[in-house]
Structure 1
Amino acid sequence: MSARTRQDAEPGLDTGLMRVVPLDTPSLGDRSYLIHDGEVGFAVDPQRDIDRVLAQLDGLGIRLLRVFETHIHNDYVTGGFSLARATGAAYHVNAADPVGFERVPVEDGDVLEVGDALRVRAVATPGHTFTHLSYVAEAPGHSPLVFTGGSLLYGSTGRPDLLGPAHTQALVRAQYASAHRLAELLPDETRIYPTHGFGSFCSATQAEAQGPISTLGQEKRSNPVLTRDQRSYVEQLLSGLDAYPAYYAHMAAANLGGPGAPDLSPPRRAEAGELRRRIEAGEWVVDLRDRVAFAAGHVAGTLNFGLDGSFATYLGWLIPWDTPLTLLADSPGPIAEAQRELVRIGLDRPAAAATGDVAHWAGGAPARSFPRAGFAELAQVRHHRDVVVLDVRRQLEWLEGHIEGATHIPLHELPERLAEIPEGEVWVHCRSGYRASIAASLLDATGRRVVAVDDEFERADPAGLVLAGR
C-alpha cells in the first residue's frame, strides 16, 4: 500500500484497553480511526474505501460494533454507511442530521458501550457544522481520548464557512465555545484525535502538533482558540480563510443519502483512436505521470494531474462535474491508485483508461512538450524579452507577495478565465511546481506557448525578481 493511503498505527497510540489505529488519507488531509481493546472496537469518520478498515479488522481479529460520524462531511464521501452494513455495526449519526437512511441516532450526552471495557460519550461541538459531535472514549484506569472531527484540531480548528456566508459568523463563535467546552470538560492529559488538520481545506489553518498526537493540555498552551479571547480568535480565523474546492458542494448531499461501497475494478481499456475522440469531444483525458515526464512528452490535449501531489483535490476542484474522465498511466498500479483517490470525492467510475507510453496513446500523432525552468531562468529571460508571468496561487498567497507585473489567476479559476491571459509566451508558476504543471497543461491543450516554472517561490526574490504586495 502506498504512503498516500497508509494505515499504520503511529508510535505511542497503544494505550492498553484503548488501542488507536489511525488511517491516514494524506491526499485529502484527513484521518480516520479504528479504536479497539483487542477483541471489539469502533470506527470514527471512515473514508469511502472501507477495504482499509476491513483489512485492519481482519488482521487484528477485531469485531466492529459501532461506527461514529462526527459530522456530515464536506470534503469527502463517507464510508460509514457501507462499513456498518458490511460489518453489522451500529451506524451513529447525529439525530438532528436529516439523513435519508436508517441509522442509530446519537445526541449530546449519550453514552454507548463498546464491549465490556470501552464506552463512548457524545459531546455537542458545533462550529464546523451546526450538528457537529465529538466523541470521548473512556476505559477503566485510562485517561480519556477525544475524537474531535472538525472541531478542535492540532493548533487550529475546523473552518466555519463551508455552509455558506450566512452562517459563518454564528458558526465561528460556536466553534470557539465548543473548544472551550472540551477544555473545561476533559482533563489536560486527554489525547486529541481530529479528522481534519493534516492538509484538508476543512481546516482553518494547517498547524499541527509536535509529534503524531496532541493532548488537551498542549492545545491549551498553543492553540489560538484556547489562548486568545473570542474577538481576536474570530478576527484571525476569518482573515485567514481562502477558497475551498468546488467539489465540496456535492459531498454533503452524497453523505446525507447514505453512499454505498465503491467499485474499484479496473476501467475499460481505451486505445489511441478512442482517446483522440474523447479529447476532441471535450472530455477530460488525464495523464497521471509526474510533471517532469509530462512536460517532456504527452498526447496533445491531455491534462496533467500527477499522483505525486494533491491529485484528487485539484482534479475534483477543476473538472466540470459529470464530465467523462479517462486516465492515462504507464502501468495499472497508478490507475488503481487514482481510482481509490477519486471515489473518496464521489468520482466513482472513469469512462476508460489506458496504460503504456505516449507513443502508444498518441497512435502515431506527434507528441507535445513544453520546457520547465526555475525562477533564476525567469529573471534572466525578463531582462531580454517580454513574457507573460502567470501566478496561479490562491488569493492569500498572492497578497503575501508576488512577482511585480505578474498576471494573477488562481488555478481553480483558470479554466473559465483562459481568455484573460495576455498574448505571448506564458511562464506559469505556483508555490512549488505542482499547480503550475496543471496550469501549464491546461494552457498547452489550447495551443499556447508555455513554460512551467518548477521551483519554490521562496527562490524568486534571491533570483532577482522584484516582489510586490509584502
Structure 2
Amino acid sequence: MYFVDTIEVPGLGNRSYLAGGERTAVAVDPPRDIDRVIAAAAQRGVRISHVVETHVHNDYVTGGLELARTTGAAYLVPAGARVSYARVPVHDGDRHEVDTAAGLVLRALATPGHTPHHTSYALEQDGSAVAVFTGGSLLIGTVGRPDLVEPRLTEDLARAQHASAHRLAAELPDETAVLPTHGFGSFCASSQAGGGETTTIGKEKADNTALVRDVDTFVAGLLAALDDIPAYYAHMGPANAAGPAPVDLTPPPVADADEIAARLAAGEWVVDLRHRVAFAAGHVAGSFNFESGGQLATYLAWLIPWGKPVTLLAESADQLAAAQRELVRVGIERPAAAATGNPAHWVPEGTDPASFPRATFTDLAERPRDGVVVLDVRRASERSGGFIEGSVHIPVHSLRDRLGEVPAGQVWVHCAGGMRAAVAASLLDAVGRDVVAVDDSFDSAVRAGLVVRSREAGQERAA
C-alpha cells in the first residue's frame, strides 16, 4: 500500500505532497513553513527519508533545505540547478527507494520547459508508475509558464514544455495520477485552465493544450497568453539557490498608536489585514488594506518595495499569525511590529479613523459621470474581454508607481470582484484622493449596461 497526501498552499495557488508507505515517505516541493509537512508525516507515522524539488522555484521560498536538515532526509535537487548548498544532484533516470517494504521507488524524468533544469518524479510501485509529481511541467489542462528565467529563452522553453508534456504522456500509463505543484491559481501557470482538481495522464492526453495541439500552434497560444510576472519573483529564485534560512513565526513586537504613527511618518508600510468592508468603514490614515487569506502574500509581496519594513494590523492574534505564515512563504521574513484590535486602538488619542465609501456597479451606472474617474485595476488579460467605457486602466500591481496618472476627480475603483479594488482604494486614500471602492462582481457591470466588449475579441458593445 502507498499514500499521497496533499498539502495545500491556497494563497499562492500551489500544492506540496507527502507520499510513501508504512515506514518512510518523500516530501515534494515543500512550503517554507515545514511544520505542516512534519505534522503530516507524524500523523501518518512515517519518517521523511527524501525531500525533492522539481525545480528552483520562482514564486515562493522553499522549505526543502530546512526540512531535509531537520529530518535528516536526503535532499534531491535537479543536477542542472545552480545552488550553493550540499544536495543530492538528480539526473534523468535516477531512481531512489522511498519505502522498500511497499515497493515504492521515485524515478526522475527530465522535463525542461518551466525552467531549463525542471525534473518530474514518477512514483512507482513494484515497477509501475502510480503517480507523477510534475511541479511546473504538466499541469491540469495547461503547463507552467516558460518566461520566468530569461526572456531570450522563453520560446525555446515553451517548445521544451511541449516536448516534456509529450514525454510524460508517452512514458507513463494513462491511469497515472498527475500531481502538479502549480496551477491552482498560481501565477507560475501559463493559464488558468479548468477541468477539476484531480487528473491523470489519460485525461491530460484528451484535454491538455500541450497534448492536443501541434508544437507551433501550442507555442503561439502559450506566448500570447502570458500575463505580467509578480515583481517579487525576482527575489525568490536567488533566495532558493542560496539556501533559505529557518523561519521565525513568533509574534512580532507590539506597536501602540504612537509607534504606528511614527512608522507611517518614517515612510514604512502599515498593512491592515481586516476584511475590506471593515477597512473602508474605519482605518488608520495612510495604512494599506491587504485582506488576510486569499492572495495576501502574492499581492503584498508584489506591491511593497522589497525590504521595506511592514507593520501588520489585525483584528485578532489568529489573523496575525496566519498572515505571518503566509508572508514568510514569499520572503517577507518578520513584521517590524504588529497590533491587534480595531482602529480605535490604533489611532492617536483625539484622532478619528479615516474611511471611504463602498458602492456597486449599479450605483456607478446611476451616478452622473461629471467629475468621476472610473479606474480599472484588473490585469490587461482581464480587460481585453470587456471594460467600462471611458475607464482608466492601471493594473493594481503597478498603481503604486503610477498614482500620478490617475486623473483629477472622485475615483471609483473596480476590479473583478472587490479585493484588488480595496487594495487600490487604500493606496489612493493614503495619498488623499477622494475614492469610492466598487465592491461588486464585474458581471454586475455587464448587467448594468456599463461594459464595452473588446473589439479584439470580436465582440460588440453590451446591450
What displacement does 1:148 show? 0.2
* Residue 346 (structure 1) aligned with residue 331 (structure 2): yes
What one-letter code is carried by the residue in structure 1 that aligns with 2:162? Answer: Y
SS of residue matched to 1:27: helix
What displacement does 1:143 show? 4.6
Correspondence for 1:227 among 212, 215, 227: 212
Correspondence for 1:273 among 250, 258, 280: 258
Post-superposition Cα deviations, 1:194-225, rounded to whole Å, max 9, x if no partner, equal 00000000001121433x42110000001110
* Residue 407 (structure 1) aligned with residue 419 (structure 2): no
Q: Is the 8 A contact 2:20 2:99 kept in 1?
A: no
- Taking a change above 3 Å as real, the CA distance of residues 85 and 387 of structure 1, as seen in their structure-2 partners, is same
Aligned mates of 1:169, 1:458 — CA distance in 2: 35
- Taking a change above 3 Å as real, the CA distance of residues 372 and 100 of structure 1, as seen in their structure-2 partners, is same
Aligned mates of 2:227, 2:45 — CA distance in 1: 44
Post-superposition Cα deviations, 1:10-33, rounded to whole Å, max 9, x if no partner, equal xxxxxxx22000000000000000
* Residue 306 (structure 1) aligned with residue 291 (structure 2): yes
Counterpart in 2 of 1:21? 5
Aligned mates of 1:452, 1:277 — CA distance in 2: 27
TM normalised by structure 2 equals 0.96
Post-superposition Cα deviations, 1:250-299, rounded to whole Å, max 9, x if no partner, equal 00000001112210000000000000011111110000000000001101
Correspondence for 2:133 among 147, 156, 167: 147
What one-letter code is carried by the residue in structure 2 that aligns with 1:93? Answer: V
Counterpart in 1 of 2:94? 110
Where does the alignment leave 5 or more consecutive residues of structure 1 unmatched?
A: 1-16
Q: Is the 8 A contact 2:209 2:218 kept in 1?
A: yes
What one-letter code is carried by the residue in structure 1 that aligns with 2:76? Answer: H
What displacement does 1:466 show? 4.2
Counterpart in 2 of 1:255? 240
Counterpart in 2 of 1:11? none
* Residue 30 (structure 1) aligned with residue 14 (structure 2): yes
Counterpart in 2 of 1:76? 60
Q: Is the 8 A contact 2:123 2:131 kept in 1?
A: yes
Post-superposition Cα deviations, 1:380-422, rounded to whole Å, max 9, x if no partner, equal 1136x33000000111111221111001101111011001111
Counterpart in 1 of 2:29? 45
Aligned mates of 2:82, 2:137 — CA distance in 1: 20
Counterpart in 2 of 1:3? none
TM normalised by structure 1 equals 0.95
Counterpart in 2 of 1:434? 419
Q: How does 1:334-373 map to 2 (within 5 A)?
A: 334-364=319-349, 365-373=351-359
Q: Is the 8 A contact 1:404 1:468 kept in 2?
A: no
Counterpart in 1 of 2:450? 465
Aligned mates of 2:318, 2:439 — CA distance in 1: 26
SS of residue matched to 2:446: coil
Q: Is the 8 A contact 1:376 1:464 kept in 2?
A: no
SS of residue matched to 2:116: coil
**Range that drifts further, 363-372 or 416-425:** 363-372
Aligned length, in residue pairs: 452
Aligned mates of 1:205, 1:293 — CA distance in 2: 33
Aligned mates of 2:125, 2:245 — CA distance in 1: 32
* Residue 293 (structure 1) aligned with residue 273 (structure 2): no
Aligned-residue RMSD, C-alpha: 1.1
Q: Is the 8 A contact 1:290 1:308 kept in 2?
A: no
What one-letter code is carried by the residue in structure 2 that aligns with 1:72? Answer: V
Correspondence for 1:85 among 61, 69, 73: 69
Q: Is the 8 A contact 2:284 2:354 kept in 1?
A: yes
Q: Is the 8 A contact 1:137 1:145 kept in 2?
A: yes
Q: How does 1:199-238 map to 2 (within 5 A)?
A: 199-210=185-196, 212-238=197-223
**Range that drifts further, 364-373 or 172-181:** 364-373
Post-superposition Cα deviations, 1:219-263, rounded to whole Å, max 9, x if no partner, equal 000111000111111111111111021000000000001112210
Q: How does 1:111-130 map to 2 (within 5 A)?
A: 111-116=95-100, 117-130=103-116
What one-letter code is carried by the residue in structure 2 that aligns with 1:61? Answer: G
Q: Is the 8 A contact 1:295 1:369 kept in 2?
A: yes
Where does the alignment leave 5 or more consecutive residues of structure 2 unmatched?
A: 456-463
What one-letter code is carried by the residue in structure 2 that aligns with 1:358? Answer: P
Correspondence for 2:154 among 162, 168, 174: 168
